Amino acid sequence: MAGVHPSTVSRVLRGKENIPIPEVTRQRIKKAAKDLKYLPDERARALRLGKSHTIGLVVPDISNVFFAEIAKSIEIESYKAGYTLVVCDTNEEQEKEVHFVNNLISRGVDGLIIAPVQDSDGHILDLKEKNYPFVLIDRCFEDMEANAIISDNEDAAFKAVAHLAGLGHKRVGFLSGRQNIYTIKKRLAGYRKAVKEYNLERNEALICGNGFTFESGYEATLEILLLPNPSTALLISGNIITLGAIKAILEKGLNIPDDISMIGFTDNIVSPYLVCPLTTISHPLREMGKKAFDLLIKHVESKDNLPFTEEIIKTQFHVRRSTDRVLSQVEAAW
């Protein structure tokens, strides 16, 4: 429409000022582009340039606020940095994760941020082998060196149990998420360490559950409540699980915190407004997202091979009403 060669259009629209093209032609091209509502084909550009200015984010459940918050902050950072973010939800299914990672690479994303399902790690090792830039977030692999932004799960769990011990609890239950996941392993380690240190009841039956769903939280809680000696407190590894636990507790006619204390692993905007305002461990999710993005971009935009960085982010502990002194049967009788 402007009567010039595509290459000239490209030079004008990409703003190559050093190539001499008279202002009249520039204007003619720009006007034509506007009139035609011309949008460059990013596929073709990416193909030619070998760079897509796109990054991929792979999370296990986008409908969980935990990952939604992370996604949101990475999205905001990407936008600011001129990158487009592609979000994929694996639904905690390994097969989908492999599919998405390959798919994203096929579409030429410049890098990946992954919160892995962790049923296997072959595809992650492939990434390392290909020297593909990626950052693990929230979950990493113990025996693998990689970029990772994680939180201090072990320490947080330890402190949470310590808090309960300080309130006189002797039997603390641990509602687990999927047990083969890094975060859960670490939290469990912290739990065990505190149980030992504060001399609480050691009983494998108090460690219950294997999943991040409402139902798995509900059922695991029932199992613990139906023990001959149910726990007087619960440490709960996930915010959807927490709701299942509340359901079970209410159904049994129990009161929080009088009959049972609870601590939620993962604070969110509703924690203070639940049936009983929930004591939680809170993760600075926005900060984690930003750090993961910055780290990824550093690797993407660097020519040489940077060494891997693993950063552990401190969590915070919010005491609300769901944790209180244990009422022993004797005290209760009073």
Which residues of the chain form contacts with a copy of itself (CB under 8 A)? 37, 39-44, 46-47, 52, 54, 61-65, 68-69, 71-72, 75-76, 79, 84-89, 91, 96, 99, 102-103, 105-108, 126, 130, 214, 240, 243, 246-247, 269-270, 272-275
In sequence order, the β-bridge partners of residue 173 are 234
Between the two ends of the chain, the Cα-to-Cα distance in Å is: 91
Question: Could you say which DSSP state residue 266 is in?
Answer: S
Asked whether 313 and 285 are in contact (CB, 8 A), the reply is no
CB of 75 to a copy of itself, least distance (A): 5
Nearest approach, Cβ of residue 299 and DNA (Å): 20
Q: How far apart are the C-alpha atoms of 115 and 8, rounded to whole Å?
A: 44
Q: Does 203 bind DNA (CB under 7 A)?
A: no
At 290, list the tokens.
């930003």
From the CB of 282, what's the least distance to DNA, in Å?
A: 44
Looking up tokens 């392993």, which residue turns up?
A: 185
Query: On the CB side of 212, how many CA atoms lie within 13 Å of its CA?
Result: 22
The token pair that represents 226 in the structure block: 């139906």
Residue 264 pairs with which residues in a beta bridge? 236, 280
Tokens, residue 323:
């944790």
Closer of 38 and 198 to DNA (Cβ)? 38
What does the radius of gyration of the chain's CA atoms come to, in whole angstroms? 26
Amino acid at 139: R
If the CB atoms of residues 206 and 240 are measured against a copy of itself, the closer one turns out to be 240
- Does residue 143 interact with DNA by CB under 7 A? no
If the CB atoms of residues 14 and 314 are measured against DNA, the closer one turns out to be: 14
Residues near DNA (CB under 7 A), total: 27
Q: CB 278 → a copy of itself: shortest distance, Å?
A: 10
Question: Which positions from 37 to 76 touch DNA by CB under 7 A, shown as an x/- string?
Answer: -xxxx--xx-xxxx--------------------------
Shorter beta-carbon distance to a copy of itself: residue 79 or 229: 79
Q: How far is CA 77 from the centre of its chain?
A: 16
22 binds DNA (CB under 7 A): yes
The closest of 77, 63, 33 to 213, measured between CA atoms, is: 63
Measured from the CB atom, the residue of 4 and 87 that comes closer to DNA is 4
CB of 18 to a copy of itself, least distance (A): 25
Please choose which of DNA, a copy of itself, none residue 13 contacts, taking the beta carbon within 5 to 8 angstroms, the exact cut-off set by kind: DNA
CA–CA gap between residue 110 and residue 106 (Å, rounded): 11
Binding site for DNA (CB under 7 A): 3-11, 13-14, 16, 19-22, 25, 38-41, 44-45, 47-50
